[in-house]
Structure formats: C-alpha cells, structure tokens
C-alpha cells in the first residue's frame, strides 16, 4: 500500500514538472516570436530607408545630362565675336525625366561671368534671328516634344540657346549646366584661332 502511494506521488510530481516545463517553453516561444516580429519589422523599415537613401544619393551624384555638341553663332561672317551659343543635349542612359525649366547655365570666359535661367517666353523663338535677354535661355525639341511642361524625356534631343556671351577667338570658356537634381555637367570649350567665313562655329 505504501509502495502504491509512493508510486502515485512520484507520478504526480513528474506531471507537475512536465506542465511547468511546457508553460515555460510556450512562454519562450511567444517571446521569441515577438522578438522575431520586431526584428523583421525593423529590418524592413531600415531596408526601405536604405533604398531611398541610395536612390537619392545616386541621383545627386550621377549626371543625368549628356552634352553632345556646342555651337557658336555669328550675326554675319565678319563679326569678331559669337553672339549666340547652342548646346545639344540628351539624357544619359537610365536617367529620369528632367525639368529643363529648373536648369541653370553658368558661363565664364575669364572676363565675363553670367547666369542664365529658363524663360518659356523664348522657348519657341527662332535663334539667332530673335534675340532674348542676356539672362535667359530657351530650349527647342529637335526630337521628342517637351510640350508646355518642358520636361525632357529619355530619347529626346534638345537644343538650348543662350545669347550675349560674346566670346572672341582663342577664348577659354567655362560652361556649366546645373540641373535641379544631380551633379553639374561641364561643357567647357575654347574658341578657335579664327572664325573664317563661317557663321556657325563648332566649339565642342
């Protein structure tokens, strides 16, 4: 009889230990699940922020504009200085659309420094016959269509015009195109020793 009671008590003790262990195990599983959920949520948030930061940094560092050619225009074949400058542009591979109305052109020839901003009033002007203000430039679409938004799309070919730059022969010119986002694009050039009889001079 005593043996049976001892055996029954031993079985009860084991049962109590087993239930306690199970409760602790379940609690540990729940805590681990909560911790895992917090880690997963935090990791997802950090990943999104990292991607956003990476895209912004790439956009700031990468140059979206590609300068194809730069030409200078004289009023006639005896002028000793260039009045108009024409810059042919396209977007680099993989570049996002660019709002040319936010673009800024900085010009310096050692003697003169000018800053040109976009003016839609002169966007449809036919240069060099129609002369705009010296502080503005315009843009015409050679390929594609900027419409009324003047947003340059991949595949577009755009010709920008600005005037009153007046570089003569043998002049080193620093020309910077500064977009709203992205790094400035250099389009430096040096005018030739003579313009000859040409009214359109290839500068770059």
- Digit-coded pLDDT (tens) for 46-89: 677 656 555 555 555 456 889 999 999 888 888 888 888 899 99
* C-alpha distance from residue 78 to each of 17, 75, 162, 194 (Å): 107, 8, 21, 11
Q: What is the DSSP letter of 109?
A: -
- pLDDT score at 115: 92
43-51: long-range pairs with CB below 8 Å, 24+:
none
Q: pLDDT tens digit string along 125-143?
A: 444 444 555 688 888 899 9
Determine the Cα–Cα distance for residues 64 and 126; give it in Å rounded to an integer. Answer: 27
Residue 124: per-residue pLDDT: 41
In this prediction, residue 116 has a pLDDT band, given cuts at 50, 70 and 90, of very high
Question: Using CA atoms, how far apart are residues 178 and 159, in angstroms rounded to an integer?
Answer: 16
Please tell me the distance from the alpha carbon of residue 4 to that of residue 8, in angstroms, as a whole number: 6
pLDDT of the residue at 125: 43
Phi, psi of 107 (to 5 degrees): -120, 135
Q: CB neighbours of 202 closer than 8 A, spacing ≥ 6?
A: 69, 70, 71
Q: What is the pLDDT of residue 129?
A: 46
3-state secondary structure of 75: coil
Domain borders along the chain are: 1-61, 63-202
Closest of 141, 133, 137, 145 to residue 177, by C-alpha: 137
Domain 63-202, CATH among 3.40.50, 1.10.1200, 2.60.40, 1.10.405: 2.60.40
Q: Is 176 left (phi over 0), alpha (psi -120 to 50) or beta?
A: beta
Residue 14's pLDDT is what?
Answer: 53
Kindly report, residue by residue over 160-189, the tens digit of the pLDDT.
888 877 888 999 999 999 998 888 899 999
Q: Of how many residues is the chain composed?
A: 204
Any idea what DSSP says for residue 95?
Answer: P
């Amino acid at each position: 009889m005593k043996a049976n009671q001892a055996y029954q008590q031993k079985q009860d003790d084991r049962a109590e230990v087993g239930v306690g262990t199970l409760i602790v195990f379940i609690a540990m599983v729940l805590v681990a699940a909560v911790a895992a959920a917090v880690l997963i949520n935090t990791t997802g948030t950090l990943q999104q922020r990292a991607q956003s930061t990476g895209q912004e940094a790439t956009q700031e560092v990468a140059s979206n504009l590609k300068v194809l050619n730069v030409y200078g225009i004289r009023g006639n074949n005896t002028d000793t200085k260039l009045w108009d400058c024409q810059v042919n542009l396209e977007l680099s591979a993989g570049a996002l659309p660019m709002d040319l109305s936010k673009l800024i052109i900085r010009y310096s020839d050692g003697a003169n420094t000018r800053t040109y901003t976009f003016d839609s009033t002169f966007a449809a002007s036919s240069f060099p016959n129609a002369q705009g203000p010296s502080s503005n430039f315009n843009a015409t679409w050679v390929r594609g269509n900027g419409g009324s938004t003047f947003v340059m799309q991949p595949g577009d070919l755009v010709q920008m015009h600005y005037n009153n730059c007046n570089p003569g022969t043998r002049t080193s010119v620093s020309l910077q195109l500064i977009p709203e986002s992205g790094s400035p694009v250099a389009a430096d050039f040096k005018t030739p020793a003579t313009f000859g009889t040409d009214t359109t001079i290839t500068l770059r």
